[in-house]
Amino acid sequence: MDFLTSADFWFLSLTSLAKTIFLIFLVVLPMVSYTVYAERRVSALIQDRVGPNRTGFPTSLIPGISKDFSPFLGGLGQPVADAMKFLLKEDFVPGHVNKLYFWLAPCLAMMPAIVTLAAIPFGSSFLGVKMVVADINVGLLFMFAISSVSVYGIVLAGWSSNSKYPFLGGIRSTSQMISYELCMGLSAVPVLLVCGSTGLSAIVNYQVREGWLLAPFTNGGLSFREIALWVPIIIAFITFTISMFAETNRLPFDLPESETELVAGYHTEYSSMKFALFFLGEYTAMIAGSALIVVLFLGGWHLPFIPDGAGQGGLAFLHAIPSWIWGLVNITAFFAKVAVLLLVFIWVRWTLPRFRYDQLMKLGWLYLFEIALVNIFLTAGILAFTK
């Protein structure tokens, strides 16, 4: 019990709490609501429409101010209005559902997506505190494990709704997630082989030292080994990203909720905040997935020439500036990379048509799975020959 009363314990608990609150409530949840907004604006841009450009922040409610505050882009208050709509609508539970599981499903869809974020190193260090909530040596496996639990939310939603379309959506989702989990796991193996660790912090540290895996020249030079490894890494990146689209049920793989066939798939019977939880869960999973891609392939929080939060590395003359500023820069760099990937997610959604279900299964089992498997041997071979 001496650990419970030690100063170490209190320091760990308080910093973990602060990091969790910062990550979930100050970064990820606002990011989710603005990803929804970005989705609507970008889709409008692609389809030559305007999109939501009116809603401002309701400052006219304050006496003395006559206008709503609507900054540069317009419509930036839309997420607030959306949230109010979800909270205030009637929460209707149909009579034919299985009540307990109907209530449980939205929570199960939302929670795993948030829990996976715990293992993500979203910054180097800030004032001597490592910017990762749980720095475990099996970080990558932890993320796969928790995201494999997230399928229960969708399955239970489909089953407990007790009607045809949600059930079909739930069944589709289960087989889709089981198939693509395998591809995703296998396509991450080359990264583990190169970095020699399953800890996400260790993978980022390797990339800080040797250059980002997808851009090995960021540490200043290109050796023969790096050029040879580039090929399998690019293949791994492509298969991993495609599997990630399937895992997060995003178009072109959103068969579980394809509205032309299944009304709205597994969440057909849901309304109000319960529906919103599925929505939040999907976008949080998207952010967690993008964060994982950034950590595995794009160097995590690292930017070339920029020192880390302890004032190490980077260009020498930048060391004169206090290191906590670089800590903040690293955190910003990480989330900027995530935001770029989120834009790619949105861009793909509004560009590609939806796959047919058998095409999706064929792509997963006959192409991606084999490519990922061969890629592991290719990476291992290159690593063995260029030692």
Partner 1 sequence: MSPILFYIFAAMTLVFAVAVVANRNPVASALSLVVSFLGLAALFVGLDAYFIAVIQVLVYAGAVMVLFLFIIMLLNIQAEERRKINVPAYAAGGLVTVAFIAQLWFVLQKFELGKTAFAPLAEKHVDDVRNVGNTLFSTHNLPFQVIGVLILVATIGVVVLSKRELK
**Interaction site with partner 1 (CB under 8 A):** 1, 3-4, 101, 136-138, 141-142, 144-146, 148-149, 151-152, 155-156, 159, 167, 170-171, 174-175, 177-178, 181, 198
Which is nearer to partner 1, 4 or 316 (by Cβ)?
A: 4
Question: What is the closest distance, in whole angstroms, from the C-beta atom of residue 170 to partner 1 in the complex?
Answer: 7
Q: How far is CA 120 from the centre of its chain?
A: 10
Q: Could you tell me the CA-to-CA distances from 114 to 132, 280, 351 in Å, in that order?
A: 14, 10, 28
Question: What is the closest distance, in whole angstroms, from the C-beta atom of residue 197 to partner 1 in the complex?
Answer: 8
Query: For residue 125, which phi and psi values (nearest 5 degrees)?
Result: -155, 155
Question: What is the closest distance, in whole angstroms, from the C-beta atom of residue 205 to partner 1 in the complex?
Answer: 15
Question: What is the closest distance, in whole angstroms, from the C-beta atom of residue 211 to partner 1 in the complex?
Answer: 24
Question: What is the closest distance, in whole angstroms, from the C-beta atom of residue 51 to partner 1 in the complex?
Answer: 38
Question: What is the closest distance, in whole angstroms, from the C-beta atom of residue 11 to partner 1 in the complex?
Answer: 15
Question: What is the closest distance, in whole angstroms, from the C-beta atom of residue 37 to partner 1 in the complex?
Answer: 32
Non-local (6+) Cβ contacts of 48 within 8 A are: none
Which is nearer to partner 1, 103 or 152 (by Cβ)?
A: 152
Which is nearer to partner 1, 71 or 128 (by Cβ)?
A: 128
Alpha carbons 259 and 255: distance in angstroms, whole number: 9
186-198 in b/e burial notation, b at 16+ Cβ within 10 A?
Answer: bbbbbbbbbbebb
- For the record, the structure tokens of 305 come out as 């020439």
Whether residue 282 contacts residue 199, with contact meaning beta carbons closer than 8 Å, is answered with: no
What phi-psi label fits residue 288: left (phi over 0), alpha (psi between -120 and 50 degrees) or beta?
alpha
Which is nearer to partner 1, 182 or 325 (by Cβ)?
A: 182
Q: Other CB atoms closer than 10 Å to residue 200's CB: what's the count?
A: 27
Which is nearer to partner 1, 53 or 174 (by Cβ)?
A: 174
Whether residue 75 contacts residue 53, with contact meaning beta carbons closer than 8 Å, is answered with: yes
Which is nearer to partner 1, 17 or 149 (by Cβ)?
A: 149
- For the record, the structure tokens of 301 come out as 């929080």
Alpha carbons 200 and 121: distance in angstroms, whole number: 7
Which is nearer to partner 1, 104 or 318 (by Cβ)?
A: 104
Which is nearer to partner 1, 36 or 372 (by Cβ)?
A: 372
Question: What is the closest distance, in whole angstroms, from the C-beta atom of residue 107 to partner 1 in the complex?
Answer: 13
Question: What is the closest distance, in whole angstroms, from the C-beta atom of residue 104 to partner 1 in the complex?
Answer: 9
Question: What is the closest distance, in whole angstroms, from the C-beta atom of residue 5 to partner 1 in the complex?
Answer: 12
Which is nearer to partner 1, 206 or 345 (by Cβ)?
A: 206
Which is nearer to partner 1, 34 or 144 (by Cβ)?
A: 144
